[in-house]
Amino acid sequence: MASNGGKRAGARTGSDQTSTLTPAVAMAPAPPLERGAVLKARHSYRLERVLGRGGYASVYLAETLETSSETPEVVPRQVALKVFNSPVEADPAQFLKRELSSLLALRHERIIRVYDWNLDPPNAFVVLEYHPSGNLFQAGASGRLPAEGEVWRLLAHLMSALSTAHRASILHLDIKPDNVLVDVDGNFVLTDFGISQGSGVSRQQMAFGLGSPGYQAPEQRFRDTNLIGARTDLWGAGATAYAYFTGLRLNRHLNLLAGPGASSPFGLPPVSEHRPCSAALEQVIMSLLMFEPLRRPGSAAEVLAQVMRHTSAGDIQPAVLGSGRKADPAGAEVRELVSRIVDPHLAAICKASDVIGKYIVFEDGEVLASQGDLARHAFVLLQGEVVVERAGDVESVVCREGVFLGEVSALTGLPRTTTLRARGRVWVLAFNAAEFEQFVVSYPAVAVRLLKSLAVRLADRPNA
């Protein structure tokens, strides 16, 4: 773990590390604690040495002295202890609570683990995993640039962690090499949720979440807080992978960042301008670095599916909308389709000039989505019949227009539990995760229909 100011716990401190933008609250650095000082929460910890200092906190390597019989969880002998600085005219515990609330809501092997905490002044602190190898650049301090396989693995681990965080409606908002630790097995662990935000917070009131120079998404850099969301984290992950593969500390190369109106749709030059790489890796990284958030992938799970498809990792075979054929929203075929829709609300949505989603037609027998699929798309049935199969057996046949299909996977990031197959010709509106969220938010009646659909489905389960 590491401090919120950019120095990572679990390793040596480095001069390349940068702090997040100064928050609205002025900070008064707390006096450093002496080596050997003992801090207590449920357990007791003795400070051994400083691992890093930042604007919000200082991080120490600490030794666990004694454990409480009331807590069955075993705390390692060495831990990273993050002590929060005292802000002027504010409660220091607010910063701990921000990070702690996120970490306690998330349980994932690729997200830093929290063991203990104490909110009491003057030294509010949280106890976290300790990773001696440090962060991305520290772990690779020999100067050797990583092979492509390591970067694919980094992307897979980050997207897996972000899928879990976003499923819990938590945005990290400060992803950078300093905040990615390397464990003893060479796996990557996302840390430092100190400026994380709930995805539903008012962007106008967001005092944090503006990231770190060099790794900020354009919407953070230009403080367009209404655009900050899950795709902001995708930018941070893309910039981190870019820096890791090329060896460029982006905080030292701010001139590489494009501004509004640039001729390229990307916020950074192509990866291959700095180091040769495969077209597949460059395509995935650069898709995360699109200047406009709406042009980035719709979710971390969608990117994870792409990574797995390119690396053949894992047991889940991700499917794409490859069998379906996209149609021109203004084309005659779609106009005729919309004219036949009976539901007046759905018809009005489809007639709108700015329809969210993509019109796709599937022919008989084609698969919309496969069981276990990691490609995150939701569908609204417009015409035709869809067979729902589980483990090869037909579970049901859906034929009512306006029915949602695959929405649970799209919203939760969980693998699909059924296969959706066209019976005859089938028309749908298809959405990636971000588009589906926008669709539901844009049309309250759709949100109500979605809730009713999920409630009926849950009620029909025998063990509900």
pLDDT at residue 10, as a whole number: 39
Q: Is the pLDDT of residue 313 over 50?
A: no
pLDDT at residue 279, as a whole number: 93
pLDDT tens-digit profile of 91-100?
555 666 766 7
User: Which of 48-65 are b and which e, b meaning 16 or more Cβ less than 10 Å from the residue's Cβ?
Assistant: eebbbbbbbbbbbbbbbe
More confident residue, 373 or 91: 373
What is the pLDDT averaged over residues 248-272?
91
Q: 59-68, 291-300, 311-320, 349-358: which has the highest mean pLDDT?
A: 291-300
Nearest to 417 by CA among 395, 390, 457: 390
What is the pLDDT averaged over residues 200-206?
43
Minimum mean pLDDT range among 10-14, 264-268, 379-383, 406-410? 10-14
Report the distance separating Cα 272 and Cα 320, nearest Å. Answer: 26
Task: Tell how strand 419-432 and strand 86-87 pair up.
Answer: unpaired
- pLDDT-derived band at 420 (thresholds 50, 70, 90) equals very high
- pLDDT-derived band at 11 (thresholds 50, 70, 90) equals very low
pLDDT at residue 327, as a whole number: 85
pLDDT at residue 89, as a whole number: 46
pLDDT at residue 382, as a whole number: 94
Report the distance separating Cα 43 and Cα 37, nearest Å. Answer: 14
User: Which of 409-420 are b and which e, b meaning 16 or more Cβ less than 10 Å from the residue's Cβ?
Assistant: bbbebeebebbb
pLDDT at residue 72, as a whole number: 56
Minimum mean pLDDT range among 51-55, 132-136, 300-304, 376-380? 51-55
More confident residue, 50 or 168: 50
- pLDDT-derived band at 14 (thresholds 50, 70, 90) equals very low
In the chain, the amino acid numbered 236 is G
CATH 2.60.120.10 domain residues, the chain:
325-460
Residue 385, phi then psi, degrees to nearest 5: -125, 135
Give the up-direction half-sphere exposure of residue 169: CA atoms within 13 A in the CB hemisphere.
Answer: 5
280's CB contacts (< 8 A; 6+ apart) are 310
CATH number of 325-460: 2.60.120.10
pLDDT tens-digit profile of 242-252?
999 999 999 99
Q: Is the pLDDT of residue 395 over 80?
A: yes
What is the pLDDT averaged over residues 233-244?
96
CATH 1.10.510.10 domain residues, the chain:
136-311
pLDDT at residue 196, as a whole number: 54
Q: How far is CA 377 from the centre of its chain?
A: 16
What is the pLDDT averaged over residues 308-335?
67
What is the pLDDT averaged over residues 289-295?
94
* Cβ(51)–Cβ(61) below 8 Å: yes
Q: 10-14, 102-106, 344-348, 410-414: which has the highest mean pLDDT?
A: 344-348
What is the pLDDT averaged over residues 210-237?
90
pTM above 0.75, yes or no: no
CATH 3.30.200.20 domain residues, the chain:
27-128
283's CB contacts (< 8 A; 6+ apart) are none
Minimum mean pLDDT range among 11-20, 51-60, 451-460? 11-20
- pLDDT-derived band at 439 (thresholds 50, 70, 90) equals confident
pLDDT at residue 311, as a whole number: 75
pLDDT at residue 295, as a whole number: 92
Number of Cβ within a 10 Å radius of residue 272: 14
pLDDT at residue 194, as a whole number: 59
Average pLDDT over the chain reads 80
Q: Is the pLDDT of residue 172 over 50?
A: yes
Q: 78-82, 453-457, 459-463: which has the highest mean pLDDT?
A: 78-82
Q: What is the DSSP letter of 8?
A: P
pLDDT at residue 66, as a whole number: 74
What is the pLDDT averaged over residues 373-396?
87
- pLDDT-derived band at 209 (thresholds 50, 70, 90) equals low
Q: Is the pLDDT of residue 108 over 50?
A: yes
More confident residue, 43 or 107: 43
Percent of the chain with pLDDT over 90: 37
Minimum mean pLDDT range among 71-80, 179-188, 255-264? 71-80
Query: What's the fold here for domain 27-128?
Result: Phosphorylase Kinase; domain 1 (3.30.200)
Q: Is the pLDDT of residue 193 over 90?
A: no
Residue 412, phi then psi, degrees to nearest 5: -100, -20
Give the CATH number of domain 136-311; options: 1.10.510.10, 3.40.640.10, 1.10.3720.10, 2.30.30.90.
1.10.510.10
